[in-house]
Amino acid sequence: MTETAKTGAPSPDSGAGTVDARRMRLIMLGLLLGLFMSALDQTIISAALRTIADDLGGLSEQAWANTSYMITSVITTALYGKLSDIYGRRPVYCTAVGVFVLGSVLCALAPSMTLLAVFRGIQGVGAGGLMSLAFAILTDLVPLAERSRYQAWFGAVFGVAAVIGPVAGGFFAGLDSFLGATGWRWAFYINVPIGLAAALLIGVLVRVQPHRTRHKFDIAGLLALVTCLLPLLFAVEQGPKWGWGDGGTLALFGLGVIGLALFLLAQKRAGGAALLPTPMFRNPVFSVYNGVNILVGAAVFGALSVLPLYLQIVKGLSPTQAGLMMLPQTLGIVVAGRIAGPYVTKTGRYKVVLLSGLVLMVIATFWFSTLTADTALWRTAVAAGVMGFGIGLCWQVMLIAIQTGVEPRYMGAGMGSFTFFRQIGGTAGIAVFLSMFFGAVTEKVTAAYRDAPSDPAYAAAVHDPSVTGQAANKVLLGARDGDVPLDNSSFLDHADARLAKPFLHGMAEAMQTVFVVSGVMLVIALVLAAIPREKRGEPAAAPGDAEGAGKPSSAKG
């Protein structure tokens, strides 16, 4: 970055002060480190989660390690902007970094999956500030005409994190230990030096503070949102264990519905202070595209939470190898962005790009639903590449589609809704799909063992005392009677391949169910996305800018 960030008097279009080029570069480095840290923790545990869950004995509880992070980050995003308007960007940003680093250290020390989920929630509280305040600080310091150049770096950070995250997570998970700690714990310890560097740079170099204002906090809306989300997610996670008709499950669903009603009422009463102003939803274009946004978020995050399990459990890849297998997906996202961006900027046509992305995602998801224990890995890699290309096309222009249905006075809240609803969909998708998988796996594995005696190799192994006497194989034989281990899969590393084959086929079949449901959701999203008429006119904003805005943007109340 060589340009000088010069700002004049405070205004909506310019920053609040003058920053020389060298100091601006260092400030940008601090913001980029914070963004990288928060973005990395959405991807780094994807390849490491099986190892983490096996070590902590909670494979079936892993959904909460992701959803708790996403819930707290999306809920706190709007609050940080208002807090920074009152108390200043610098102290609030450094506080967010401190909370994130504290959460990271606690995650690294977690002795159980339950506590890991709690500590991931603390991380998410910090992440909400790191994402939103980066755009707020940039808005304070850089004039509007120069802002897109810097925002392009923000977008690049998310792309880099998407590439590095799974590989780094797999690398750390593949280490038995490093500097006295279990390898996977370094997926969290790595945030400590990054966070300290980000806090130091911003704490020392950011001196400009716009006029401080006081805002009404939509506390009622926030509490109602929590009352809605937590019971619903807990009901989905516990439903397969308790039974969907169990009184406790139904009570949680009922509490979630009550929370939703209270949230809608709170938004109506809060007016301009609302987290999501209700007048926006009167526009059918805005409502329809955000419905598409929720469905896509649920389908994509949910399906991709299962794919690493397929690669590591069913295909037997190491965490590092599984991380590398996700690279075709990342490459697809990057290439699609380079194609979609210039096209939409030049023509202003976003709908054809959005629909094309959804079509590719539907194809990829149903392709995933054909994966078995015997499927060649290159087929999985190609399907992941197609999925990534579809994601790159779809999410590049989703925000533009949503913006066409937002009045100018609600543009800030409308842009924030993009990330809000995508994260809500993603959180629900991870919880629902992993619950669906673990709810189906016992039946599928037991059925596979019922059919296994027809395989001569299995029959020979099951009658060989030297094989059946081994501890890992005893676990597998217990699955014949429905005793399927769901909290620790490490025994598969020592099991006889002949006895493990039915187990792996049953796991793959349970995953196929998840991918089919994901595909159906994407088909519904495709149909909905085709309904609104494209608003033509001047070329749309570049998706690169949209991507930046799509992340939690400058929330100044």
Task: Please state the domain extents for the chain.
Answer: 12-215, 219-274, 282-445+514-547, 446-513
At 423-450, the pLDDT tens digits run: 788 888 888 888 888 888 888 888 888 8
Average pLDDT, the chain: 80
Note the pLDDT tens digit of each residue in 121-144.
999 899 888 877 887 787 777 776
- Tell me the average pLDDT across 397-424: 74
Closest to 335 in 3D by CA, of 391, 380, 400, 401: 391
pLDDT of amino acid 555: 31
The alpha helices in 89-190, defined as continuous H runs, are 89-109, 113-141, 144-174, 186-189
> Which one has a higher pLDDT value, 11 or 389?
389
The CATH fold assigned to 12-215 is Growth Hormone; Chain: A; (1.20.1250)
Give me the residue label for tokens 């209270």: 262
| pLDDT above 60: residue 540 | no
Name which of 247-261, 355-369, 482-496, 534-548 the model is least confident about: 534-548
What is the reported pLDDT for 415?
Answer: 66
Q: Report d(CA 294, CA 529) in Å as an integer.
A: 12
Q: What's the distance, CA 280 to chain centroid?
A: 25
> By CB neighbour count within 10 A (0-12 exposed, 13-18 middle, 19+ buried), where does 212 fall?
exposed
Cβ-based burial of 471 (10 A; exposed 0-12, middle 13-18, buried ≥19): exposed
Please enumerate in sequence order all residues whose Cβ is within 8 A of that of 278, keeping only pairs 6 or more positions apart, or say none: 264, 267, 268
Q: Cβ distance 417 to 276 under 8 Å?
A: yes
Average the pLDDT over each of 112-121, 267-276, 303-312, 515-524 and give the range with the smallest value. 267-276
**Which CATH superfamily is 282-445+514-547 part of?**
MFS general substrate transporter like domains (1.20.1250.20)
Task: Name residue, tokens 């997610």.
Answer: 233
C-alpha–C-alpha distance, residues 507 and 170, integer Å: 21
Q: How far apart are CA 231 and CA 3, in angstroms?
A: 49
Taking the C-alpha atoms of residue 410 and residue 324, their distance in angstroms, rounded to an integer, is 42
Task: Tell me the per-residue pLDDT of 489-508, one tens digit each, with 9 for 90 and over.
Answer: 777 878 888 888 888 999 89
> Facing residues of 19 across strands?
5
- What's the pLDDT score for residue 151? 65
